[in-house]
Structure formats: C-alpha cells, structure tokens
Structure 1
Amino acid sequence: MASSLVLSYSIPQRLIHWLMAGLILFNLLFAEAMEELSEAVEEGQTPTPDMIASANIHAYVGIAVLCLAVIRVVLRLTHGAPEALAEEPPLGRLAAKVAHGAFYLLFFAMPISGALAYYGGVEAAGGPHAGPMKLVMWVLIVVHVGAVLVHQFVWKTPVAQRMTKG
C-alpha cells in the first residue's frame, strides 16, 4: 500500500505501538533486577531464585519487544504509514524521521545487546545496553511525547489520533 494513501495507522499497528510502549517502559523502569543479578555474580555471590526470576522477566520482556519490532516493521512495509502533515515545518519533519529511525534502531539494538550480555556472556554488549542506549531511549520517549503535545496543543493537528482513534 502506498504511504501517501494512508491517513492513519492500522489497528494492528496501533496495538503493537502501545504494547511495545508499555513493555519498553516496564523494562526501563524495572531494569534494576538485571543490575542486581550482575552485581551479585561479579561479587561472587550466589544469585537468589528471586534475582534470577526478576532478571528473566526483564529478558523475556526484551525478547517480546524484539519480536514485536519485527512484526511492526513488516506491518509498516505492508500497511504503510501516514505522511507528515502539511502544517508541520520542514525541520519538524526531519526531526520526526530521525527520531523514528532512532526508535526503530533501538527496538532491535537494545534487545539484541541485552540478550548477548545475558545469554551470551558478552560483557561488552551489556554496557551500551544499560548505559547509552537506555539514555537515548529515555530521551526519545520524552521528545516523542513532547512532539505529540506540540502537535495537539500548539499546531492543533490530529497527529495523536492517528495512533489512538485511527
């Protein structure tokens, strides 16, 4: 489907967007389980079953995000995406493209680097995962929400409805 004909995101696209948002937010807010397990192992302590279970939940949520990201890309390729609104300034359009590209990159890079660190023992993957990638994800979320609010209340455009009502 040509993206110029798309006025809104499809129901599956919207569901995946909000499901991923919730899962990503969960993992960002509850990452200490993984950090606690790593510290225990580094200090030579035996991790408790609760530590392992909590770390596994973080890992499983990350795997779910990765699987949903694959589906999301397939849906974007098959269903398209709405074009930027004419009211949006050119710099805003560019910023949106860069931000969305960074989101998609992180949808894949964060779960893969986390899995490499947790399941593969690749310590070099854990640092970027828990450090710069996590920080960039937080920044993108804040900017994304801010941009939606600008669209809604400053430019008075219906961008938010594309991902809520359709």
Structure 2
Amino acid sequence: MVSSFSVPQRVLHWIMAALILFNLLFTDAMETAGRLMFRGQMLTPEQVSAANIHAYVGITVLVLAVVRLCLRFVQGVPPEPEQEPPFLRVVAKIGHWAFYALFFVMPFAGIGAWYFENKTAAFAHTGPLKLLMWALIAAHIAGALVHQFYWKTDVLKRMTSGR
C-alpha cells in the first residue's frame, strides 16, 4: 500500500499547477491573437510568438498529464484518509478525475482553436472549461485546507514533502 506520493508525482503535480495557473492568469496575448485570427486579420510575428507561449505551455500540460496518469497507474496513490467522510471521498475522487479530464480536454480544445481555427473549440476552451478549471482549483485548495486544519490529516504533507 502506497503511503505517500512519489517524488516524480509530487514534482509533476507542482509543475503542472504552476503551468496551468500561468495559462489561466496570462491570457491576454492569446486572447488578442485569437480575436484577430477569428476576424480574419493578420497577426504580427510578435503577436504569434506571444500567443505561442500560451499554446506551448498548454501542450506541455498535456504531455505532463500523460506522464502523470501513467505514474498514477504504475505507482498508485495513497488511500484517502479515514477522517474524510465517505460522501466527500466520492466528491474528491470525482474532482480528481475531472482534473485529469481537463488536463486533456483543455489542451485539445486550445489546439483546435489555435491551430485549426475552430470557434466551437475556442468557446469551450475560454468559457466553460476555463470556468470549470477555476472551480476545481478552488475546491481542491479548500479541500486541502479542510484536511490540514479541520481533520488534521497528512494530505498536504503527502503532496509536499512526503511522509
């Protein structure tokens, strides 16, 4: 039975968190480029380069998600703490798998929008998927804080320093 996340799992978690937060917070270049592109206007090389940073970060998230999912299946994950009520265990499991789904769906929607000029993909990427990602992040942080300060479990330690 696994008692903590492995070092590669922890490193991937935090790298992906940083990359996802970067792409969620710094969207101006891609939004400008997308707006111009969908209007049929030409983009300057600087605009394309700036927008590509967002695209490359998203593609990196997709590749890291594949690695992370493989590690999850090969190395396993620690069990949920017993202090967590059964209903919330189910909610947490759904939330974690929703994250994994978004790690794949959001980059593919972004690829569809940027590289294939698909307006539906652009809408999904910048609208409901982005909103769901923010909601999951907020719930994930809230859950970690509840574990740390209310149930006093080792959940944060398992994803930071290990046991």
- TM-score, normalisation: structure 1: 0.94
Q: Mean Cα displacement is larger for which, 28-37 or 68-77?
A: 28-37
> Which stretch shifts more, 134-143 or 112-121?
112-121
Partner Cα separation in structure 1 for residue 47 and residue 140 of structure 2: 33
Equivalent-residue separation in structure 1 for 2:74 and 2:67 (angstroms): 10
1:116 corresponds in structure 2 to: 112
Matched residue, 1:152: 148
Shift of 1:45: 3.4
Question: 5+ unaligned residues in a row in structure 2: which ranges?
Answer: none
Alignment match of 1:99 (pick from 89, 95, 98): 95
Corresponding position: 1:46 with 2:42: yes
1:68 matched residue in structure 2: 64
Q: Deviations over 1:49-102 (max 9, x none)?
A: 221111100000000000000000100010000110111101110110110011
- Specify the code of the residue in structure 1 equivalent to 2:59: I
SS in 2 for 1:119: helix
Aligned partner of 2:51 in structure 1 is 55
Q: TM-score, normalised by structure 2?
A: 0.96
- Quote the Cα distance in structure 2 between the aligned partners of 1:17 and 1:27: 15
RMSD: 1.0
Paired amino acid for 1:36 = T
How many residues of Structure 1 are paired with residues of Structure 2 in the alignment? 162
Question: Hey, what's the Cα distance between the residues in 2 that align with 1:12 and 1:119?
Answer: 31
Give how far 1:110 is off: 0.2
Which residue identity is paired with 2:27?
Answer: A
Identity of aligned residues (%): 53
Of 33-42 and 96-105, deviating more is 33-42
Q: 1:134 aligns with which of 130, 139, 148?
A: 130
The answer (yes or no) to whether the contact 2:5–2:78 under 8 Å persists in 1 is yes
Structure 1: tracts of 5 or more residues without a match: none
SS in 1 for 2:11: helix
1:31 aligns with 2:7: no
User: Counterpart in 2 of 1:12?
Assistant: 8
| Native 8 Å contact 2:62 2:107 kept in 1 | yes
Which amino acid counterpart does residue 163 of structure 1 have in structure 2? M
